[in-house]
Each structure stands twice: as structure tokens, then as C-alpha cells.
Structure 1
């Protein structure tokens, strides 16, 4: 409500038990439209996106309802097949939540949700480029199919982002971070990431060989457009908020950050630049 965050993404509880990842199975629910609507209403207008498994009872009806409410319906943590995913897209689903992760893979006779989500131009696909969730060639495949204007680079980060190795809580669950990789203490499932977007930017350019314009589009312009915020953020244009991230030209490491016209990090390096 203070406007610091763009909104709320409910990643669950309407997801598949078979693909629940670091979610507690006993808290999962079928996406009954009345229950989904109750959760959206509880957000007091700040619900931006709901990730659900469309194959579950009520899934497709909930996708339609979310689309009617102007809330993004995302397909993720799902055991959906190709045909059901196509139905979800036709019903109004427009996002693939961390594509490839927590969903069936591609098989030669069972393309599954990945192919359905990649091939439809109405769908934006999220990718976690931390070197753990996706092999670089898989990220290259997604870019080659969808293009930068349909890829949103995300972190999927939990509370250990920017911190060192150790034990961290994830709701009621315990997570161990080792060598920067977050896994549940019980079961060993990957529990989100410790990724920050400056690292995702650097990997995309230096490891995947993406151009600066492709990477910036996926980090900034595409998510802003998806969330309906491109009139104020997502690109450097007159009249938009002066939100800037500066990286150096050698290793693409973070140098400075400006938020709404004021330097919050490294501003002394750019003393000649006056705030907007």
C-alpha cells in the first residue's frame, strides 16, 4: 500500500502435490474459484499474479476468473499436459512461472506444458538464470523460441539472497544454503534461489552471450509491460521514474543505484549527474 512493491504474486497454494517443490504439501489446495477469489480479495487490490496448476479441479475456471479480474494467471508447479496447458492459455493464462522448473519435461510424444507455453506468443516465460535451475543451453533454447520480449528474467529468491551459506527459514521450513544453492533440509528439494538480478544480468551476457539490449529487455521492459507498469518504469524515457542501475563495462558488476531520482548506492561516483 506504500507503493514500495509492485504487488503480490501468490505462488500457491493452488499447485500440484507432485510438483510442489519447497511448498508444504499439507497446505496445498485445489483452485476452487471461490477460494481463489477469497485470496485475491484479501490482497485489497494488490494481487498481481496467481500461479496455479490448471489440471487441478477448478483450475481452468479459476484462470478465467483471474483474467476477468485483471489478475495475471500463471501456469506453474504443475503436472499439466500439453492439451490442458493450451486450454489454460485459451482461458487467459499469460505467464509460465519459472519455465522448466516444477513441471514435466519435454518428451517426444508428450510435449507437456513447456512446449505449449513456449510456442504461444501471448505467454511470457519466466527464467531463473542462476546456473543452478537451468543449464545455459536450456535458457538459450527458450530465448531462441520466445525472444527477449517474451522472456522475464527472475530470481525466485528466498530470504538468503545476498547472504552467505547457512541455515535459513522459509515459512515453516528449514533451508540450508551451501555454495549459494538453497535446498530444503528435509528432502533436499531446491528451495528458490539466492540469486540477485545483477548476477542474472551478468550471467546472461557473459555466459549465454545475449546482447545488452536483449538482457535489459528481459530484466526490465518485459516485466514492466506484463504488470501493466510500462507507463512509469521499465525503460529510460522522459516522464518515467528515474530508476537506474549502473554496472561497469568490464565485468558488468554493480556500481550504483538510483531510485526515483536519488542515488541510494554509489552516487558519489556520479556527482556530476543531478537527480531528476
Structure 2
């Protein structure tokens, strides 16, 4: 099978075709024919709570499968299922319930955004479920857990970050009120990701740089960026992407179940959410409650903010694939990698999605 178009590869856009053999890219060949469609690697979303009216946050496998299918239709061929701060029993049950989805490839694993977060910066996280880091809890959750977000200033956080690294689980820093120095301590302990940088943390100040500068300026940290024009102004998105470079920036959706749905009333982690004009906010206090974003829209937003196509593709696929340790399998249009790709129109709208060599 050959898929023709303008192919977005690392550092270049090449007219030609991607040749598929079963689930694998056999070759990428340039030719001179004029092609209007754009072919990009399948998107990789490190941080997503749901979409299409379905959620990952309740531990229900049928609901989670439908949320993953919704985002697959928008070009996300690899994703983590993100839960919010929850009772331990729900976290444990979700790990078990979602095992078939991991085995079947619908999700790449679980991301726990909490409950080990700062109460001062919990945002839309349910404060009733916040608690201190617990290695005892974490030790009962290994298996399909790929990432845990943690506030490094909490008592026991540095030990928990070290434990996560020793067990090959990504430690992310987020929802934190930490100082610059406390964030660096978390990075030195082994954290490698910044959760939705700028959001859920104090703003940077020239006399107290705080988490934002510590994360953007640390070579070992990949910074998640919510490119929806709401969480981040396009100027801030551009600044962050230039500060990190595409190898250290990962576009995420942080989507909740309201993604792709009409305005109205929803729920996140046991809290009421109101969506108006595509902005999701807690009903009780107006805090931003995730997003209604999809990865194709994030890709368009990044391009609209000034990133070229190869850079946006790296941020939407190549870099997050590397975060997950999957760079040898997916995340780029290269021979030998998995045939995950998205065909986009000239205005960057999804026309077709391929996962493992099959159109979906």
C-alpha cells in the first residue's frame, strides 16, 4: 500500500509516498508529483482524561475504550489514559480494568495526575482526594502505570520520584507551589516531564523564577504544553517551544469528556464542570478544568502560532513517543517504524487515520 502526499519528516516536508507493508512502514520515497494532502505521524498524547462524552477518570473500561476511539478519529494513535486525583481504590481498580486496553493497544498505559499534588495549586483537582506521596500506594499500582504527576515540595515527594524512576515509571512535576530550587531537587531526583507547564503552578517572576523557569531551562525535562489558545496564549506557546526546542516540548490535550461535545454541564473527578464556548471550568469557582481539545486541533494551533510543520509534528508525535520509550517503534514517518499516520487536508483537517497499517 502507498499513501501519497506531502510527507512531514524530521526537519523537512517531502512530496512523495509512504509505502506500507502490514503494520510497518516499508519505505518513504520522494517524487516530484504535486500533492495537496499532508501526511504526518500519528499523534501521541501523554495527557488526556477523556473525550466524545466518555472519560478515563472513573475506571470504567467500556467508557475508556470509547474515549480512546474518539481521539483515534482525531489522529491520536498512541495515548495515555489520565486519571485525576482519586481514592486509592479507584486508582487500583482502574489499573486492573484498563489492562485489556493496554494489551489491545487502545491505550499505551495510565497516567495518574495526582493525588500527590499541592492543595494551593490543585486547580480542578478534587481537594478531598489530595494526599501526601505514598510509596506503599505506588507499589500496589505498578504494571500499566506509565506516568505519575507529583508536587516535589511535598514531604516524601523526592523519595517517591526516585522510586518511580527505579520502577521505570515517568515522574512528572506539576500542580506544584514549589520554589525554583525545590523543582530542581525534583529533577535531580529523577523527574523527566513537566505537567502542562505554566498551568497549575505559580507564574514566573524575575526574582522568583519558580517551576516554569526550572522546567523550561532543564535539559532533561520534556514540557507538556496545552495548545488550545486558552491554557496558553499563542505567544506563550511560541516562547515555551523556542525555549525548549521541539525535542523537549510535547503537545497534549488535557482533554476531558466534553471534548467534541456541546456546551453544557459535565463532571470531572466528582466535581461539576460547566463548558461554555469550548472552555471547561469548575462550576464552583471557575478554575479551568482540563480542555475540550483534540490533538489535530493542537497541531493546527501550534502551526498557527508560528511553528513550522516538522516542528509541530515533532511536538505532537516524535517527542512524546520518546518520553514513552517508544521512539524505536513509532512517532515518525521512517522505514521500520509502525505505520501510524494521519492524512490532513491543506487546512490541516483530518481526512484519514491509519494505525498499525490499517485505516480506522
- TM-score, normalised with respect to structure 2: 0.70
Work out whether 1:141 is the aligned partner of 2:235: no
Between 192-201 and 233-242, the greater mean CA deviation after superposition? 233-242
Work out whether 1:188 is the aligned partner of 2:290: no
3-state secondary structure, aligned to 2:178: coil
**Counterpart-to-counterpart distance in 2, 1:36 and 1:20:** 20
Between 166-175 and 57-66, the greater mean CA deviation after superposition? 166-175
| Structure 2 residue aligned with 1:232 | 329
| Structure 1 residue aligned with 2:355 | 259
| Structure 1 residue aligned with 2:340 | 243
**Counterpart-to-counterpart distance in 1, 2:324 and 2:299:** 20
1:33 to partner: Cα distance: 2.5
3-state secondary structure, aligned to 1:127: strand
**Counterpart-to-counterpart distance in 2, 1:106 and 1:134:** 14
Contact 1:32 1:57 (8 Å CA) reproduced = no
**Counterpart-to-counterpart distance in 1, 2:261 and 2:282:** 17
Work out whether 1:210 is the aligned partner of 2:307: yes
Contact 1:7 1:48 (8 Å CA) reproduced = yes
Of structures 1 and 2, the one scoring higher in RCO (CA 8 A, sep 6+) is 2
| Structure 2 residue aligned with 1:11 | 113
- TM-score, normalised with respect to structure 1: 0.91
**Counterpart-to-counterpart distance in 1, 2:134 and 2:260:** 37
| Structure 1 residue aligned with 2:219 | 121
Work out whether 1:164 is the aligned partner of 2:288: no
1:34 to partner: Cα distance: 2.3
Shift >3 Å, 4+ stretches: none
Superposed CA deviations along residues 21-51 of structure 1, whole A, max 9, x for unmatched, are 111111101113223333x33xxx1111000
**Counterpart-to-counterpart distance in 2, 1:144 and 1:259:** 30
Superposed CA deviations along residues 49-94 of structure 1, whole A, max 9, x for unmatched, are 0000010010111111111111010000000100011111111000
Which of 119, 130, 150 matches 1:28?
A: 130
**Counterpart-to-counterpart distance in 1, 2:261 and 2:355:** 22
Runs of at least 5 residues in structure 2 that lack an aligned partner in the other structure: 1-98
3-state secondary structure, aligned to 1:73: strand
**Counterpart-to-counterpart distance in 2, 1:256 and 1:167:** 31
Contact 1:161 1:194 (8 Å CA) reproduced = yes
3-state secondary structure, aligned to 2:183: helix
1:203 to partner: Cα distance: 1.1
**Counterpart-to-counterpart distance in 2, 1:7 and 1:252:** 28
Q: Which one has a larger percent strand, Structure 1 or Structure 2?
A: 2
3-state secondary structure, aligned to 1:229: coil
CA RMSD of aligned residues (A): 1.0
Runs of at least 5 residues in structure 1 that lack an aligned partner in the other structure: 265-276
1:229 to partner: Cα distance: 1.0
3-state secondary structure, aligned to 2:273: strand
**Counterpart-to-counterpart distance in 2, 1:36 and 1:260:** 32
Which of 154, 165, 172 matches 1:67?
A: 165
1:234 to partner: Cα distance: 0.4
